[in-house]
Amino acid sequence: MINEVLRVFRELEKKDFRILTGIETGMKHFEWVPVEDLNKYTKLPYAKLEYRLKKLVRSNLVVRTFQPYEGYQIYFEGYDALALNTFVKRKSINAIGDEVGVGKESVIFEAVKEPELAIGDPIPVIIKFHREGRTSFKQVRRVRDHLGEREHFSWIYAARLAAQREYGIMTTLYPKVSIPKPIDQNRHAIVMELAKGSILSKTKVLDPEWYLDEILRQVKLTYSLGIIHADLSEYNIFVAEDCVQLIDWPQYVTPAHPHADELLERDVSNVLNHFYKKYGTKRDLEEVLREIKSEWKPEAGDKAGKEIAGEAGEEIGTETETETDFEEDIKDDFEEDFEEDMQG
């Protein structure tokens, strides 16, 4: 998938990205964006537009249909190209490497960005591409609170909103909670620093008591800020010589969530079960949960949680990001690319 994007990325020109952004914009209103509308979006002469569309189809960045009319879609390859182009323009990355992780709803690649000072070394980072809409839209909506009760959305909307949500909570938690530093977000992708160390599930630690205490301390700190990870296990905890880091935050909830206690208990149980099975380290679940909640201040916490939720797009009974907001985001992307193209 993304290897194809990388293969053709250097060959793409500003007008190609303008066309991709035009299709992205049009997909808010059409399943297949009519070529006539692309002509209006891009303001390219029809002959030039047709030539470049054929090129994008051959590069597998765009899909075309002729029934019942000539129309176009982008899929993840085209969306990846748009996000990468923005990251390069912002200097959030300057090279991308190998795939380092893949899941049901994301794929992760290593990358590097230039140092802030010219004399420094390149900074290793990762890019996480959300893939929430890759399978069934109905399934995605059923298991993701942040999609709310919206009747209409596309895979673009699902993936983009998940990335915005995760990046929002990461920028709120960092550096108070031990997580990788968030660097940038565009569309369905997030640039962040590498997690320190190695994944807990594949690591044998020398002092399990210390690492268990430190993980639980981070869970307690997160809870005191009005946040529950809601998907915590040995598969999204990294351990290094002197620290732990918690990753993968798109499913977080606040204590106001109707299943908050169940989700917190599941997070803690997953961690305790891992340490008990692998190291024989045993803790009482109820005692641990009481300790985690001991510094929780409902009034301050609820307020903080609502503020965080508002920033990151969680739906907890208040108005959050709407489809209109989403459309404005895409419009901003299009206008930014269009203005740059006109200046170039």
Query: At which residue do the structure tokens 């992708």 appear?
Result: 189
Of 199, 197, 194, which Cα lies nearest the Cα of 111? 194
Q: Half-sphere exposure of residue 53, counting CA atoms within 13 Å on the CB side?
A: 24
Is residue 302 annotated as a catalytic residue, yes or no?
A: no
Q: How far are the Cα atoms of 74, 258, 278, 289 from residue 103, in angstroms, in the given order?
A: 22, 27, 24, 29
**What does each of the 344 residues of the chain score in pLDDT, given as a tens digit?**
677 888 899 899 999 999 999 999 898 888 899 999 999 989 999 999 999 999 999 999 999 999 999 999 998 899 999 999 999 999 999 999 999 988 778 999 999 998 877 778 899 999 999 998 655 434 434 444 444 443 334 688 889 999 999 999 999 999 999 999 999 999 999 999 999 999 999 999 999 999 999 999 999 999 999 999 999 999 999 999 999 999 999 999 999 999 999 999 999 999 999 999 999 999 999 999 999 999 887 765 555 556 555 554 443 333 344 555 655 665 566 556 555 544 54
The rounded distance, in Å, linking the Cα atoms of 71 and 46 is: 14
Q: Which of 37, 145, 231, 329 is the catalytic position?
A: 231
The rounded distance, in Å, linking the Cα atoms of 215 and 81 is: 37
- Please state whether the predicted TM-score (pTM) of the whole model is above 0.95: no
Question: What DSSP state is assigned to residue 118?
Answer: T
Structural domains for the chain: 2-78 (1.10.10.10), 198-312 (1.10.510.10)
132-178 per-position pLDDT tens digit? 865 543 443 444 444 444 333 468 888 999 999 999 999 999 999 99
Structure token pair of residue 326 = 């989403």
Please state the separation of Cα 312 from the chain's center in Å: 11
With beta carbons less than 8 A apart as the criterion, state whether 37 and 25 touch: no
Phi-psi region of 280 (alpha: psi -120 to 50; beta: other; left: phi over 0): left
Question: What DSSP state is assigned to residue 272?
Answer: H
H or E element: which one contains 99? strand 95-102
With beta carbons less than 8 A apart as the criterion, state whether 139 and 165 touch: no
pLDDT at 310: 56
The rounded distance, in Å, linking the Cα atoms of 82 and 159 is: 14
The rounded distance, in Å, linking the Cα atoms of 39 and 19 is: 9
Structure token pair of residue 27 = 């997909």
With beta carbons less than 8 A apart as the criterion, state whether 184 and 191 touch: yes
Please state the separation of Cα 39 from the chain's center in Å: 31
Structure token pair of residue 239 = 């351990």
